[in-house]
């Protein structure tokens, strides 16, 4: 989305300039290419876990059918003015899975509002979903009746398959079709896999970087360990090289996850998510 001020004028003040510069650096280094409106710290434990926000973000449908609600917030690069707040709900019936949510990122001068939804199918052997997100700059009222490029829309999907006990492969292409206002960052095809051995989970992922030159990609890896209702995960990414840590705890009807990711140029990104429902 654009960084326009009210009435189409450029935002004034050092704060707005700093935010625009931070977004430009993050986009140039690929720091936000893999995640946007419905990112969640659960991704660091395993990108295919498919929380309500994750289903909208990546197109991964969950095995469970019990209704779940997830609230997530992310402070990107240590900037309070560049914070994402999201709420999503998901449910299933037989093989069908559905999720819907709303997200808001940034201050009015440089921020945007997003509405997302996903619809798919899943069982214990795999799942797939189509996802869509519509965005509108916060400088004007959100509405689907806007003319021109005032509203941006992206449509994509994702899928995962269990290839062996405890082993899953996944792929996600969240922006197969776009229209209107350009998204905050381009997201290309990503794929990966996860293996669970006892209390340990190892996952690897690769996501193409959109735009020239061809062949560029961001790589990521994570290692998690669980003990009863508690879990911890360490993750690392390149383009640029950075790392993070995530802690999670689960009760019978709720869960909480929090994570911190470093950046060599910008500040730390802090993520928090609370989920109610969804079963164990």
Quote the CA–CA distance of 29 and 25 in Å, as a whole number.
6
Task: Give CA angle at 275 (172, 142), nearest 5°.
Answer: 65
Tens of pLDDT along 152-208?
999 999 999 999 999 999 999 999 999 988 888 888 999 999 999 999 999 999 998
Tens-level pLDDT at each residue, the chain (280 residues): 544 433 443 444 545 555 555 555 555 555 544 557 999 998 888 877 779 999 999 999 999 899 999 999 999 999 988 899 999 999 999 999 999 999 999 887 778 899 999 999 999 999 999 999 999 887 755 555 545 446 899 999 999 999 999 999 999 999 999 998 888 888 899 999 999 999 999 999 999 887 666 667 999 999 999 999 999 999 999 988 999 999 999 999 999 999 999 999 989 999 999 999 986 4
What pLDDT is recorded for position 47?
78
Task: Give CA angle at 35 (33, 36), nearest 5°.
Answer: 105
Q: CB-based burial of residue 140 (10 Å sphere; 0-12 exposed, 13-18 middle, 19+ buried)?
A: middle
Phi first, then psi, for residue 183 (nearest 5°) are -65, 165
Quote the CA–CA distance of 169 and 205 in Å, as a whole number.
10
What pLDDT is recorded for position 5?
38
Long-range contacts of 21-27 (CB under 8 A, 24+ apart): 22/76, 22/77, 22/79, 22/82, 22/266, 23/82, 23/110, 23/184, 25/265, 25/266, 26/76, 26/77, 26/185, 26/266, 27/184, 27/185
Domains of the chain: 7-277 (2.40.160.40)
Cis before 77? omega within 30: no
What pLDDT is recorded for position 273?
98
What pLDDT is recorded for position 17?
52
């Amino acid at each position: 989305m654009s960084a326009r001020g009210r009435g189409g004028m450029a935002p004034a003040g050092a704060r707005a300039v700093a935010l625009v510069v931070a977004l430009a650096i993050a986009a140039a280094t690929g720091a936000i290419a893999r995640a946007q409106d419905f990112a969640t710290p659960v991704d660091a434990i395993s990108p295919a876990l498919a929380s309500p926000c994750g289903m909208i973000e990546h197109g991964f449908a969950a095995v469970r059918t019990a209704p779940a609600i997830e609230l997530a917030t992310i402070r990107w690069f240590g900037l309070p003015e560049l914070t994402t707040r999201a709420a999503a709900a998901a449910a299933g019936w037989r093989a069908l899975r559905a999720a819907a949510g709303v997200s808001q990122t940034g201050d009015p001068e440089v921020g945007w509002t997003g509405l997302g939804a996903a619809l798919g199918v899943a069982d214990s052997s795999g799942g797939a979903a189509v996802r869509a997100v519509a965005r509108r700059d916060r400088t004007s009222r959100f509405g689907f009746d806007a003319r021109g490029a005032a509203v941006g829309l992206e449509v994509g999907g994702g899928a995962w398959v269990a290839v062996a006990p405890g082993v899953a492969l996944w792929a996600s292409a969240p922006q197969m079709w776009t229209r209107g206002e350009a998204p905050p960052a381009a997201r290309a095809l990503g794929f990966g896999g996860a293996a669970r051995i006892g209390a340990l989970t190892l996952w690897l992922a690769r996501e193409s970087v959109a735009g020239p030159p061809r062949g560029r990609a961001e790589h990521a890896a994570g290692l998690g360990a669980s003990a009863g209702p508690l879990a911890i995960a360490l993750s690392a990414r390149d383009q640029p090289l950075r790392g993070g840590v995530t802690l999670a705890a689960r009760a019978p009807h709720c869960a909480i996850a929090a994570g911190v990711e470093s950046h060599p140029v910008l500040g730390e990104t802090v993520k928090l998510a609370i989920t109610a429902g969804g079963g164990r």
